[in-house]
Amino acid sequence: MTETGTAVAMAAMQYQRGDADAAAGLLGPVLAAEPDNVRALVLMAHAQLALERTELAHEVAQQAVVVAPDSAEALSALSRVLTALDRHSEAVEVAQRAARLEPENAYRYNRVAWALLGDGRRAVEAEHAARLAVQLEPNEAGFRVTYAMVMKQLDYPDRARQALRDALALEPDNAVAQHELATLDVVHRNPFALGRLARGASGLAGALRSDPKQQASKFMLDVALRRFLVYTAVLLAVLAYVGWRMTEFSVAGARLLAGASALATAGFAAYFVARLDRSLRAYLMSVLTTGRQRIAGIGFSLCLLLLLSATVAPAGWLPWLLGAAAVGSFAVRLLTVSATNAHVRAAGAGGPPDRVSVVLWWVIIVCMVAAIVLQIGAADAAWWLSVAALTLVAVALVSLAVIVRRRRVRREAFRGIRR
């Protein structure tokens, strides 16, 4: 093998290992000496794309196609770059040209499928291309992952799940397949399917172990754990509200519901946590003690304490204890959603905040507060106690928010000084 061939082979090895920077460094001298080396040009295009230098990748891929217009490999590289540039119709056209040049090459149909998926409106065509790739290379796990992505786009989650399981049967350590299979469990919106949510969180942790650089898995793991916290807060709020309504009819029933609310919420949380391994439990605790979620966690604990107090408190105290617990739980829910949205935006994966939903939730809380105050207002002493309790809860939550924010600012300032 020539010196140039050795350098290209080493660059390909570095790229496969995930070190695109090293691959580009090896390919630079090769292209300086041989600017028409198609293999080096194609590898450089892939490396620059991995380094997110899309415009440079486009220049290199175009040069490869100019040098070898009938090279399916060069055309596939250009199609990939065009997809990254959101020039989807061109990406599809170029990928299809490559597939026509090598009709028996499964990789060409796999690229066609991804190009069609990028278009967003041609998932049915993508299914045909992805199926052809699997038929041509049934033992390639990556092609089954592509097929799963198409099924996900077509809203066939069961077929997507089966394709991902097939991929993992072929390649148990495939981090992408692990991530996508776990994501299907996380995005499932049944709030009572905690076993599935826990399974998704465990799968995402497994994907991270297989590929620690995969930021998407870490992001979705945070989303899974925060979703569990939102479900728990909503359950506590609903049960506490029902208990508060019960105070109009039966003191004993209200006490029973208060205890049941606390126990049911604790059981709901324990069921989920018990299905996590030790490392995930530790990570959940880190989520609970970070930023706004720390305030939500303290508020949640206060609401549980109010419910437990209601089981033994004097009868006159029950309405304001249960009412404060209900309102506080809805506030905890809002804080948790706010923390989740902030996490999504920080990861660059979110759109604009859903202000309509936020306003609706605040309207619900205000209406609940008004209903509780008006209901209890019939008894002067109880009315003043309820107002005092709600005020204390609000002041405590606001104070905690201010304290956490100030500490975060100080911490960031200290980090800046150390740098």
Domain count of the chain?
A: 1
Q: Is residue 236 part of a domain?
A: yes
pTM over 0.85: no
Q: What is the DSSP string of 171-236?
A: -TT-HHHHHHHHHHHHS---TT-HHHHHHHHHHHHHHHHH-TT-HHHHHHHHHHHHHHHHHHHHHH
Q: Write b or e for each residue in 329-356: b if 16 or more Cβ atoms lie within 10 A of its Cβ, otherwise e.
A: bbbbbbbbbbbbbebbeeeeeeeeeeee
Is the confidence at residue 371, as pLDDT, over 60?
no
| Calpha distance 357→362 (Å, rounded) | 9
Of the two residues 337 and 230, the one the predictor is more confident about is 230
Q: Does residue 124 fall inside a structural domain?
A: no
* Separation CA 249–CA 373 (nearest Å): 17
**pLDDT band with cut points at 50, 70 and 90 for residue 119:** confident
Q: Read off the pLDDT of residues 296-319 as tens digits, 9 standing for 90 and up.
A: 888 888 888 888 888 888 888 888
CB 163 within 8 A of CB 179: no
The domain of 240 spans 218-346+353-418
pLDDT digits (tens, 9 = 90+) for 216-267: 777 788 778 878 888 888 888 888 888 887 887 888 888 888 888 889 888 8
Residue 93 within any structural domain of the chain: no
Instruction: Answer yes or no: is 403 within a domain.
Output: yes
The verdict on residue 108 lying in a domain is no
Please report whether residue 107 resides in a domain. no
Question: Is residue 63 situated within a structural domain?
Answer: no
Does any domain span residue 103?
Answer: no
